[in-house]
Structure 1
Amino acid sequence: MSYTGPDFDPHEPRRPRRVPLAVALAALVAGGLLGWLLYEVTGDSGAVGRPDAAGAVSGTAPGSASRPPSSSTAPSATASPSASHGAGGGDGKPGGVSGGSGGTGPLAGRVVLVDPGHNQGNFRHTGEIGRPVDIGTNRKECDTTGTSTDAGYTEARFTLDLAHRLRALLEAQGATVRMTRDGDSPAWGPCVDERARIGNDAHADAAISLHADGAAAGDRGFHVILPGTVHAGGADTRGIVGPSRELGERVAGSFVRVTGDAPSNYLGGGTGLVTRTDLGGLNLSTVPKVFIECGNMRDSKDAAQLTSGAWRQKAAQGISEGIVSFLRGS
Structure 2
Amino acid sequence: MSYAGPEFEPPPARRPRRRLIAVVGGALVVGALAGWLVVQGSGPGSDGGGSAASGTATSSGTASASSTPSAPSAPSSSSSGSDDGKPAPAPTTAASSGPLKGKVVVIDPGHNPENFQHTAEINKKVDIGTGWKECDTTGTSTDDGYAEAEFTLDVAHRLRTLLERQGAEVKLTQDADRPFGPCIDERARIGNEAKADAVVSIHADGSGAGNRGFHVILPGEVRAGAADTRAIVGPSRELGASIAGNFVRATGSAPSNYVGDGTGLVTREDLGGLNLSTVPKVFIECGNMRDTKDAALLTSGAWRQKAARGISDGIVSFLRG
The two structures have a TM-score, normalised by structure 2, of: 0.73
Correspondence list, 1:1-330, <5 A:
68-70=87-89, 73-74=90-91, 103-182=96-175, 184-329=176-321
- Aligned-residue identity in percent: 72
Unaligned runs of 5+ in 2: 1-81
CA contact (8 A) 2:85 2:303 kept: no
Report how many residues are paired. 240
- Please identify runs of 4+ aligned residues in structure 1 that moved more than 4 A: none
State how far apart, in whole Å, the 2-side matches of 1:111 and 1:290 are. Answer: 15
Q: Give the structure 1 partner of residue 52 of structure 2.
A: none
CA contact (8 A) 2:140 2:147 kept: yes
Residues 152 and 101 of structure 1, relative CA distance in 2, 3 Å threshold: farther
3-state secondary structure, aligned to 1:262 = coil
What amino acid sits opposite 2:287 in the alignment? Answer: G
What amino acid sits opposite 1:74 in the alignment? Answer: P
Residues 223 and 113 of structure 1, relative CA distance in 2, 3 Å threshold: same
Residue 69 of structure 1 deviates from its aligned partner by 2.1
Calculate the aligned-residue CA RMSD, in Å. 1.8
Unaligned runs of 5+ in 1: 1-50, 56-67, 76-99
Residues 126 and 101 of structure 1, relative CA distance in 2, 3 Å threshold: farther
CA contact (8 A) 1:102 1:177 kept: no
What amino acid sits opposite 2:270 in the alignment? Answer: D
State how far apart, in whole Å, the 1-side matches of 2:230 and 2:212 are. Answer: 31
What amino acid sits opposite 1:289 in the alignment? Answer: K
What amino acid sits opposite 2:256 in the alignment? Answer: S
What amino acid sits opposite 1:176 in the alignment? Answer: E
Q: Give the structure 2 partner of residue 64 of structure 1.
A: none
State how far apart, in whole Å, the 2-side matches of 1:296 and 1:316 are. Answer: 16
State how far apart, in whole Å, the 2-side matches of 1:205 and 1:266 are. Answer: 30
State how far apart, in whole Å, the 2-side matches of 1:54 and 1:297 are. Answer: 18
3-state secondary structure, aligned to 1:107 = coil
State how far apart, in whole Å, the 1-side matches of 2:128 and 2:114 are. Answer: 22
State how far apart, in whole Å, the 1-side matches of 2:95 and 2:249 are. Answer: 27
Residue 186 of structure 1 deviates from its aligned partner by 1.4
- What are the Cα deviations for residues 21-49 of structure 1, in whole angstroms up to 9, with x where unaligned? xxxxxxxxxxxxxxxxxxxxxxxxxxxxx
3-state secondary structure, aligned to 1:268 = coil
State how far apart, in whole Å, the 2-side matches of 1:270 and 1:321 are. Answer: 21
CA contact (8 A) 1:54 1:307 kept: no
State how far apart, in whole Å, the 2-side matches of 1:180 and 1:263 are. Answer: 27
What amino acid sits opposite 1:310 in the alignment? Answer: A
State how far apart, in whole Å, the 1-side matches of 2:154 and 2:100 are. Answer: 22
Q: Give the structure 2 partner of residue 95 of structure 1.
A: none
What amino acid sits opposite 1:175 in the alignment? Answer: A
Residue 292 of structure 1 deviates from its aligned partner by 0.1
Q: Give the structure 1 partner of residue 74 of structure 2.
A: none
Q: Give the structure 1 partner of residue 36 of structure 2.
A: none
State how far apart, in whole Å, the 1-side matches of 2:273 and 2:94 are. Answer: 24
State how far apart, in whole Å, the 1-side matches of 2:306 and 2:103 are. Answer: 23
State how far apart, in whole Å, the 1-side matches of 2:253 and 2:170 are. Answer: 26
What amino acid sits opposite 1:304 in the alignment? Answer: A
- What are the Cα deviations for residues 150-200 of structure 1, in whole angstroms up to 9, with x where unaligned? 000000000000000000000000000010011x31110000000000000
State how far apart, in whole Å, the 2-side matches of 1:190 and 1:122 are. Answer: 10
Residue 279 of structure 1 deviates from its aligned partner by 0.4
CA contact (8 A) 1:102 1:176 kept: no
The two structures have a TM-score, normalised by structure 1, of: 0.71
Q: Give the structure 2 partner of residue 61 of structure 1.
A: none
